[in-house]
């Protein structure tokens, strides 16, 4: 495993982070990753040198199950060996019934949620605490002051921001600066080789303000592994894939992950993989790891130990500037823009 300093923080993390969104998650009454498999995945990640775990209060059914699975696993290990990130924003007990203060980034909800997160993870502190989304109805000053208190109390070490608009991230950073609050050091956008909508401006902010970037869904939910085939040249959302895969069980898979640009990018990822003697998943992850304008640590969401083992192989791949740039070009094939090239 390779390790890297996480942006401007003093944290050293593995080049890949383990994602736990599917831990305890139920689809059609079936648990996607049960406790036993979750613990096998954590073991396999640890054995391969991954020291960075990403979770959220919201993951699992009931919510909090993912944090509980991780906490049970950590109980038998040295907490200090791991960098653990969690998140707050979404309703925890339901879908935001009015009058319950059960969602968003207000002081009351954030303070309640951090206690639950610490309890389930069985730890005194979270290494990185992300705001999962932007809260339109709470002044960012209230959120930042609350997060500042958590840092002062030692419950949180570093702050992170997940998906939001570039102007929102900028406003939060500016407010921290002006008010002298602890600032976001890590960003967690949706970013992968087949995607570019909205994210360019956001990444420009991260580059300028020296934030580390931990992209989620780095394989576009599995699309960039090459296991899906296009079945209609006129419709980029028509596809076939293996039974039981995410594409098979999620209604919104095509909306989320499939686009004309995505298929172009996948063709290039496949071609580069062939040249490198690697798999498309490894090349797609390596393309993120080798971003040279910001520290980039993709959050891998493997469902099985075999998938995880394949994905960790990304650390043994190396892309030439030409291979890296060809994947950038494929993402911008439609309009010929140039952004993100290495050479
Ligand atoms: N901040 C946010 O809002 C947010 C949102 C989403 C996720 N996240 C975080 O990011 C993590 C990763 O997201 P993600 O799960 O969408 O990541 P992803 O890497 O894009 O997709 C992971 C899925 O692709 C398939 N896959 C992975 N490796 C494979 C391989 N080698 N061969 C074949 N199939 C493979 C598996 O699904 P199947 O086998 O079922 O096809 C797996 O569950 C999450 O666990 C979570 O921690 C954060």
The CATH number assigned to the domain holding 167 equals 3.20.20.100
**Is the CB of 221 within 6 Å of ligand 1?**
yes
Which residue numbers in the chain have pLDDT < 50?
none
Whether 197 is in a domain gets the answer no
Same domain, 136 and 253: no
* Residue 74: predicted pLDDT: 98
Residue 300 alpha carbon to ligand 1 centre in Å: 6
**Which atom of ligand 1 is nearest to 188's Cα?**
1
* Residue 335: predicted pLDDT: 63
* Residue 227: predicted pLDDT: 97
Residue 251 alpha carbon to ligand 1 centre in Å: 16
Same domain, 149 and 287: no
Out of 173, 188, 203, pick the residue that ends a domain: 188
Same domain, 328 and 246: yes
Whether 214 is in a domain gets the answer no
Same domain, 151 and 270: no
**Is the CB of 226 within 6 Å of ligand 1?**
no
Same domain, 36 and 164: yes
Whether 211 is in a domain gets the answer no
**Is the CB of 54 within 6 Å of ligand 1?**
yes
The string over 170-206, giving b where at least 16 C-beta atoms fall within 10 Å of a residue's C-beta and e elsewhere, is: bebbebbeeeebbbbbbbbbbbbbbbbeebeebbebb
* Residue 119: predicted pLDDT: 98
Domain that holds residue 281: 221-292+303-343
Whether 212 is in a domain gets the answer no
In the chain, the number of structural domains is 2
Same domain, 39 and 100: yes
Catalytic residues: 59
* Residue 29: predicted pLDDT: 85
pTM for the complete prediction? 0.96
* Residue 338: predicted pLDDT: 66
Whether 246 is in a domain gets the answer yes
Whether 298 is in a domain gets the answer no
């Amino acid at each position: 495993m390779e390790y890297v300093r996480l942006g401007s923080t003093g944290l050293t993390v593995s080049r890949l982070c383990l994602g736990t969104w599917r831990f305890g998650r139920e689809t059609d009454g079936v648990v996607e990753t049960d406790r036993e498999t979750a613990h096998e995945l954590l073991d396999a990640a640890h054995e391969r040198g991954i020291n960075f775990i990403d979770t959220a209060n919201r993951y699992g059914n009931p919510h909090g199950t993912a944090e509980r699975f991780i906490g049970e696993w950590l109980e038998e290990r040295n907490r200090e060996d791991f960098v653990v990130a969690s998140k707050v924003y979404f309703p925890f007990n339901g879908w935001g019934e009015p009058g319950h203060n059960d969602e968003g980034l207000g002081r009351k909800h954030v303070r309640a949620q951090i206690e639950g997160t610490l309890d389930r993870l069985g730890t005194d502190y979270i290494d990185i605490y992300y705001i999962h989304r932007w809260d339109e109805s709470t002044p960012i000053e209230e959120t930042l002051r609350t997060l500042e208190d958590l840092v002062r109390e030692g419950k949180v070490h570093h702050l992170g921001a997940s998906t939001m608009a570039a102007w929102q991230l900028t406003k939060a950073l500016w407010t921290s600066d002006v008010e002298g609050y602890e600032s976001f050091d890590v960003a967690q956008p949706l970013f992968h080789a087949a995607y570019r909508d909205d994210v360019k401006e956001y990444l420009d902010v991260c580059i300028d303000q020296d934030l580390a970037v931990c992209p989620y869904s780095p394989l576009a939910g599995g699309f960039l592994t090459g296991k899906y085939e296009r079945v209609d040249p006129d419709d980029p959302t028509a596809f076939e894939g293996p039974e039981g895969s995410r594409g098979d069980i999620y209604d919104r898979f095509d909306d989320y992950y499939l686009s004309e640009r995505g298929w172009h990018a996948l063709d290039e990822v496949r071609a580069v993989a062939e040249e490198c003697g690697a798999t498309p998943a490894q090349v797609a992850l390596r393309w993120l790891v080798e971003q040279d304008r910001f520290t980039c640590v993709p959050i891998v969401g493997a469902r099985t130990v075999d998938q995880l083992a394949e994905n960790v192989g990304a650390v043994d791949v190396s892309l030439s500037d030409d291979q890296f740039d060809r994947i950038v070009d494929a993402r911008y094939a439609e309009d010929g823009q140039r952004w993100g090239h290495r050479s």
